[in-house]
Amino acid sequence: MASVTSEQETPGYEVRLDFFEGPLDLLLFLIRKKKINIHDIPIALITREYLTYLEQKQHLNLEREAEFLLMAAILIYIKSQMLLPREKDYELEEDPRQPLVSQLLDYERIKKISQLLRTREEAQSKLWSRKNLPFSLSPPEEQIDLEEISIFDLAEKFFTLLKMKEGQSVTLPEGKKFSLEEKIREILISLKKAQFLDFEEYFYSQSSLEEALISFFALLELIKRKVVIALQDNLFQPIKVWLFQGRQDEYPA
Amino acid sequence: MNTRLKEIIESLIFVSLEPLSLEKIKSLLTDFPPEEIEKAAEELLQSYASNQRGIQIIQAAGGFLFTTKPDFDPYIRQLLDQERKSRLSSAALETLSVIAYHQPVTLAQISALRGVDSAQAVKTLLEKKLIKISGRKKAPGKPFLYRTTKKFLTYFGLNSLDDLPQEEELVSLLEEKQEKKNDSA
C-alpha cells in the first residue's frame, strides 16, 4: 500500500473544483493523473490527494460541494474497512473498494459518451437547415431562438387565463356580438401596429368571456392559416404572437 | 422515370422543415415501387455528397433533411449576423449521455450515476426539448421516467438511437485511451 508520507508534494498546478462535474470526475482525474490502476486503488493516497483539492476551497458552498464532502467520507470509510484485520486477501466482491470502482468505471463510460456527443454537437452546429433560418427576418434577429409553441400549449394557457378571468366580475356589454372575421381583422391591425401581441395581455384586455373565446378562435384560425405564429422564449415565459412577414398582405385589414 | 423520381423526392425533402422519413415518401408516391424509391433516395444523397454544392441531404432522426455543408458555416453566420450556436453545458451533456444510454431512467438513477444532483440539468434538457417525461416508474414515490426525444437525434445528427456507439465500441475506445496512457508512462 502506498504510504501517506512518501508523496507530500502539493499539486503544482491550479485546477479549480468548479472545473469538475462532481466528486467522481475529480476522483477519476486524480486516478488517471497518478497513473493508478483503477482496480487496485491505494485508498490512503487517493484520499489525501482528494482532500488537498477540497482544501483549496476557502469557503465551501454546501449546496454544491456537499457531494464532494460525502465522497471524502466514503473514502475514509473504505479506508477504515481496509484497516480491519483479515486472515487472507479479499475475494473481489468482498473488497470494500469494489462499489466505488464500479461506480468510477460507469462514470468513465458516461464521460466518454459525453465527449462523443460533444464532437457530434460541434459537427452538427456547423450545419444549417431551413428550420434554423429566420423566417424573413420577422421576428427580429435577437428573437430567432424562440420555440414555436404547440396548439396544446396555447390552449392550456388559454384555459388557465379563462379560469382566472372567471373569478372577476364581468360587465356584459349588451347586445354586442363579435364575429370571427372582425376579430381576425382586429388582431391583424394590432399586430401591424405593435409588431407582436402578448398572449396573456391580449386576453386580459377582452371585455367578456365570449369575446375572449372568439379572440382565441380567431388566433387559432390565423395560426392555422400560417398568418401569425405563436412563439415562446422559454418554458413559462410569456407567449408572443408574431405576424409572418409577407403573409399579411393576403389579409388586408 | 428514374430521374424524375429522384427529382420528386428532392423537392419533397426541400420543402420539409423536419427530417422527412422514407416511409412518408413511400406513402405519398404510391405509383412507384418502394424499392425504386429507396434506390432513388440513396442516389440523390450520393449525388449531393459528391457534387460541388453548398448544400447536402443528411439522415437524421429517421428522415432526410437538407442542410448546408459544414465548411460554409462562417459565411452563413455572417449572413445571419449570428454568433456560433450555443453549446450545452457539460453538466447537461453528461446528463443527456446517461439518459441516452439508460432510458427510461429516473432522476435518482441519473444523479447516482453522475454522483451529483442532476435536477437542474434535467430541467434544462426538458426546456430544450432534448428529453421528455415518458411515464412514471412503478416504485415508491412514482418518480418520473425520462427519455430522449426526436429533437435529441436531430441535434446530434443521429439517425436513430442505434447510431449511438455500442457497448463494445465504447469499451474499445476506453481501452485505447488506457493503452495510450500506459505507453506514454
User: Could you tell me the residue ranges of all domains in chain A?
Assistant: 17-124, 130-169+176-250
Per-residue pLDDT tens over the stretch B61-114? 999 999 999 999 999 888 887 777 788 998 999 999 999 999 899 999 999 999
- Do residues B98 and B179 both lie within one domain? yes
**For residue B114, how far is the Cα from the chain centroid?**
23
Q: How far from chain centre, in Å, is Cα A164?
A: 29
DSSP B105: B
**What pTM, to 2 d.p., does this model score?**
0.63
**With contacts defined as CB-CB under 8 Å, which chain A residues touch B73?**
125-128
* Residue A138 confidence (pLDDT): 45
CB A191 within 8 A of CB A197: yes
User: Residues in chain A with pLDDT < 50?
Assistant: 1-14, 136-144, 246-253
Residues 59 to 88 of B: which have CB under 8 A from any A CB?
A: 65-71, 73, 76, 80-82, 84-85, 87-88
Provide, as residue numbers in chain A, all residues whose Cβ is less than 8 Å from the Cβ of B116.
21-24, 67
**B27/B109 same-domain check:** no
Whole-angstrom Cα distance, residue B91 to residue B117? 10
Pairwise CA distance, residues B106 & B147, whole Å: 9
Whether B132 and B166 share a structural domain: yes
Cell (9 digits) for A225: 392559416
Neighbours of A31 (CB within 10 A): 19
Residues B116 and B34 in one domain: no
B38 and B8 in one domain?
Answer: yes
Strands B55-60 and A239-243: unpaired
Return the DSSP state at A132. G
Shared-domain flag, residues B64 and B7: yes
Alpha-helix runs per DSSP H in chain B: 2-15, 22-28, 34-50, 73-80, 90-102, 107-114, 119-127, 150-155, 167-184
Q: Do residues B174 and B101 share a domain?
A: yes
Same domain, B15 and B64: yes
User: Measured between CB atoms, which of A67, A110, A122 is closest to B113?
Assistant: A110
Domain count, chain B: 2
In the numeric block, the cell 482532500 is attached to A51
Chain B interface, best mutation among A126, A132, A135, by max B CB count within 10 A: A126
Could you tell me if the ipTM is greater than 0.90?
Answer: no
Contact between B117 and B111 (Cβ < 8 Å) = yes
Residue type, B106: T
* B82, part of any domain: no
pLDDT for residue A134: 61
Asked if residue B84 is part of any domain, the answer here is no
Pairing assessment for the beta strands B63-68 and B55-60 based on DSSP bridges: antiparallel
Whether residue B151 sits in one domain with residue B109: yes
User: Could you tell me how many CB contacts below 8 A there are between chain A and chain B?
Assistant: 112
**What value does the CA radius of gyration of chain B take, rounded to a whole number of Å?**
21
Cell, residue B122: 434535467
Q: 10 Å Cβ neighbour count for B73?
A: 16
At residue B30, what are phi and psi to the nearest 5 degrees?
Answer: -70, -15
Q: Is A171 exposed, middle or buried (0-12, 13-18, 19+ CB in 10 A)?
A: exposed
The contacts of residue A40 (CB under 8 Å, 6+ apart) are none
Is residue B79, in this structure, part of any structural domain at all?
no
CB contact under 8 A, A32 and B181: yes
Residue among A188, A208, A203, A214 nearest A238 (CA): A203
pLDDT, one tens digit per residue, over A127-151 is 998 887 765 444 444 444 556 667 7
Q: Are residues B22 and B105 in the same domain?
A: no
Calculated CA dihedral for residues A158, A164, A165, A166, nearest 10 degrees: 110
Distance from CA of B164 to the nearest CA of A (A): 9
Q: Could B82 and A116 be called an inter-chain contact, meaning their C-beta atoms sit closer than 8 Å? A: no
- Of the candidates B160, B136, B157, B158, the one whose C-alpha atom is nearest the C-alpha of residue B146 is B136
* Residue from the list A107, A114, A125 with its beta carbon closest to the beta carbon of B90: A114
**CATH number where B54 lies:** 1.10.10.10
CB contact under 8 A, B94 and A103: no
Q: Which domain holds residue B28?
A: 2-70
The reported pLDDT for the residue numbered A60 is 63
**CA closest to B127 among chain A residues:** A235
Euclidean distance between CA atoms A48 and A77, whole angstroms:
13
Q: Are residues B111 and B59 in the same domain?
A: no
Distance CA(B115)–CA(A70), nearest Å, equals: 10
Question: Cβ of B127 and A234 within 8 Å?
Answer: yes
Best residue in A63, A127, A145, A233 to probe B by mutation, most B CBs within 10 Å?
A: A127
Q: What is the pLDDT of residues B5-56, one digit of tens each?
A: 999 999 999 999 889 999 999 999 999 999 999 999 999 999 998 878 999 9
- Provide the pLDDT for residue A10: 43
For A130-169+176-250, CATH number out of 3.40.140, 1.10.10, 1.10.3470, 1.25.40 equals 1.10.10
Q: Side chain identity at A247, as an amino acid letter? A: R
- Under an 8 A CB cutoff, do B66 and A35 touch? no
Q: Which three cell numbers stand for residue A104?
A: 468510477
Q: Shortest CB distance from B155 goes to which of A106, A124, A141?
A: A124
Q: How far apart are CA A86 and CA A81, in angstroms?
A: 10
Which grid coordinates belong to A171?
360587465
Q: Do A107 and B115 touch (CB under 8 A)?
A: yes
Q: Are A50 and A71 in contact (CB under 8 A)?
A: yes
Burial of A230 (0-12, 13-18, 19+ CB in 10 A): buried
Nine-digit cell at A239? 407567449
Measure in Å the smallest separation between the Cα of B10 and chain A Cα atoms.
Answer: 14
A contact set with B (CB within 8 A) = 21-25, 32, 35, 67, 71, 103, 106-114, 116-118, 120-131, 133-134, 141, 144, 147, 234-235
